[in-house]
Amino acid sequence: MKAAVIVFPGSNCDRDVAVSLEAATGTRPLMAWHRDTELPRLDLIVVPGGFSYGDYLRSGAMAAHSPIMREVKRRAEAGVHVLGICNGFQILTEAGLLPGVLMRNRHLKFCCQDVHLTVSRNDTAFASKYRKGQVVRIPIAHADGNFFANPDMLSRIEDEGQVAFRYCDEEGNLTDGANPNGSLNNIAGVYNMQGNVLGLMPHPERLAEAELGGTDGKPMFDSLLEALK
């Protein structure tokens, strides 16, 4: 599986996700700079977490117009798989590759904690190693993770099965108390209509090794390897 990680000024999880990809695949991913305009043939592109361009204007807004994102968008529309994590999710929504927007957390505070998620779908390249309905523990670290969409768009997201993960409690209940940022319908991650683009606010790369305190994020990278190798 050939993968690339996009690096912006302010990215701080690019090396973390590169380590997880290399551990899963045995191959170091390409680290692509934001000013690049071309990419080699790839199976997967990761837009990592961090604070691209210092989160000026709003999170992901400037990065979405970087030269490299024109190429990412072209590849995604051609069927290449794209994973956006945290700030990467924000960038993908700003670039129009995913529906909805990520607004300020409802408490207007930065959230850094472990959360529980329930797997809404496991029939994609990103989630086949999970069970549908499985509850996993994954860390979050964001100030702008409050997923919002207007009623018509939210209805389409739900009707078309685009929800990837939802915030829940340890038993899998979709409670308001388990929702760390106010996201509508407890949505933590969404797919595009074709299922080849995923954005999620939690960081699977931060719990992909036992030494980090858990491995609930590892199945995502193993799923990608199996689907795209």
Q: Does position 129 have pLDDT exceeding 90, yes or no?
A: yes
Specify the pLDDT at position 138.
Answer: 98
φ, ψ at 66 (rounded to 5°): -65, 155
Q: What pLDDT, in 10s, does the model give residues 24-61?
A: 999 999 999 999 999 999 999 999 999 999 999 899 99
- The rounded mean pLDDT for the chain is 97
Hey, what's the torsion of the CAs at 66, 182, 121, 151, to 10 degrees? -80
Q: Are 188 and 179 in contact (CB under 8 A)?
A: no
CATH homologous superfamily for the domain 3-228:
Class I glutamine amidotransferase (GATase) domain (3.40.50.880)
Q: Is the dihedral of CA 209, 89, 107, 178 positive or negative?
A: negative
Q: Does position 168 have pLDDT exceeding 90, yes or no?
A: yes
Q: Does position 3 have pLDDT exceeding 90, yes or no?
A: yes
Query: Is the overall model pTM greater than 0.85, yes or no?
Result: yes
Domain ranges of the chain: 3-228
Share of the chain above pLDDT 90, in %: 99
Mean pLDDT of 77-92: 98
Q: Are 165 and 188 in contact (CB under 8 A)?
A: yes
Closest C-alpha to 167, from 189, 191, 197: 189
Query: What is the rounded CA–CA span in Å between residue 221 and residue 218?
Result: 6
Query: What is the rounded CA–CA span in Å between residue 219 and residue 34?
Result: 28
Specify the pLDDT at position 55.
Answer: 93
Q: Are 70 and 94 in contact (CB under 8 A)?
A: no
Query: What is the rounded CA–CA span in Å between residue 188 and residue 199?
Result: 9
Task: Give the number of other CB atoms < 10 A from CB of residue 171.
Answer: 10
Q: Does position 229 have pLDDT exceeding 90, yes or no?
A: no
Q: What pLDDT, in 10s, does the model give residues 185-221?
A: 999 999 999 999 999 999 999 999 999 999 999 999 9
| Catalytic residue IDs | 86, 203, 205
Mean pLDDT of 13-21: 97
Mean pLDDT of 177-187: 98
Mean pLDDT of 81-104: 98
Burial per residue of 12-32, b for 16 or more beta-carbon CB atoms within 10 angstroms, e otherwise: ebbebbbebbeebbeeebbeb
Helices 14-25 and 218-228 pack at an angle, to 10 degrees, of 60
Q: Are 58 and 34 in contact (CB under 8 A)?
A: no
The single residue listed with the structure tokens 């964001």 is: 142
Q: How far from 186 is each of 58, 89, 101, CA to CA, in Å?
A: 22, 16, 14
